[in-house]
């Protein structure tokens, strides 16, 4: 980790990186958000009869989402990095691999708690990043705060009701995918160039 340098323009560095990658980030977040929503809707419509297909689709979507989060972590200036982002990315990728490789009876028992912790971790990461943006006077931090709070509340609900959540595993998965997708879509729409 770099030491803090009072002469370096961290805010300017962040703005330059943000503005140079905004179009690609919006497109990637929009496509990934739409894929997650579609996977979640399919999971909600047919939670049991098409579970194996949905399991593969959800696994791929979560693996890609996790990979994007890890790439985003390394693409963010070091002073703005949140360790929760890389942990969330790794957990999403592992959850995707778990969906792809393990049989249903092994994933069902641990999935609800893993999803709950992913919701909470992702929520805190979004809130933390929104606070950093607000602290440095950067616009568009409200959407990150709102989606972060929603993620934390849903994660707490999943932990509070594990038996119920495991009974409706297909719907729990659908909720996670749809909420993660909507979160990405909202953030993609609210992303704008930052003027100096």
**Per-residue pLDDT tens digits for 94-131:** 888 988 887 766 666 566 777 788 889 889 988 988 88
195 located within any domain: no
Q: Give the separation between CA 105 and CA 49, rounded to whole angstroms.
A: 15
Domain range for 39 is 22-190
Confidence of residue 190 (pLDDT cuts 50, 70, 90): confident
What pLDDT is attached to residue 107? Answer: 63
Q: What is the share, in percent, of the chain residues with pLDDT greater than 90? A: 8
116 located within any domain: yes
3 located within any domain: no
Name the one residue in this structure whose structure tokens are 């993609």: 188
89 located within any domain: yes
Give the pair of three-digit tokens for residue 13.
């560095």
Give the pair of three-digit tokens for residue 126.
């979004």
Q: Give the separation between CA 78 and CA 134, rounded to whole angstroms.
A: 17
132 located within any domain: yes
pTM for this model (two decimals):
0.57
**Other Cβ atoms closer than 10 A to 186:** 17
pLDDT at 1 over 70: no
Q: Give the separation between CA 104 and CA 11, rounded to whole angstroms.
A: 47
Average pLDDT, the chain: 81
Whether residue 39 contacts residue 177, with contact meaning beta carbons closer than 8 Å, is answered with yes
Confidence of residue 147 (pLDDT cuts 50, 70, 90): confident
Q: Give the separation between CA 113 and CA 56, rounded to whole angstroms.
A: 20
Q: How far is residue 53 CA from its own chain's centroid?
A: 22
Helical H segments across the chain, by residue range: 10-45, 51-75, 83-101, 104-135, 142-160, 162-167, 169-190
| Residues in contact with 105: Cβ distance below 8 Å, sequence separation at least 6, in sequence order | none
185 located within any domain: yes
Give the total number of structural domains in the chain.
1
| 16, containing H or E segment | helix 10-45
Give the pair of three-digit tokens for residue 124.
């805190």
């Amino acid at each position: 980790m770099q030491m803090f340098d009072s002469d370096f323009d961290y805010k300017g560095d962040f703005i330059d990186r943000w503005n140079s990658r905004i179009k690609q980030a919006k497109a990637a977040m929009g496509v990934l958000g739409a894929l997650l929503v579609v996977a979640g809707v399919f999971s909600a419509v047919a939670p049991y009869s098409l579970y194996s297909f949905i399991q593969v689709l959800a696994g791929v979507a979560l693996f890609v989402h996790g990979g994007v989060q890890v790439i985003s972590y390394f693409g963010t200036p070091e002073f703005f990095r949140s360790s929760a982002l890389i942990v969330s990315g790794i957990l999403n990728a592992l959850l995707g691999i778990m969906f792809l490789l393990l049989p249903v009876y092994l994933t069902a028992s641990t999935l609800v708690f893993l999803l709950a912790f992913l919701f909470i971790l992702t929520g805190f990461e979004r809130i933390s990043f929104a606070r950093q943006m607000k602290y440095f006077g950067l616009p568009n931090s409200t959407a990150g705060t709102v989606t972060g709070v929603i993620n934390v509340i849903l994660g707490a609900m999943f932990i509070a009701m594990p038996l119920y959540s495991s009974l409706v595993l297909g719907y729990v998965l659908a909720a996670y995918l749809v909420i993660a997708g909507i979160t990405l879509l909202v953030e993609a729409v609210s992303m704008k160039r930052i003027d100096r």
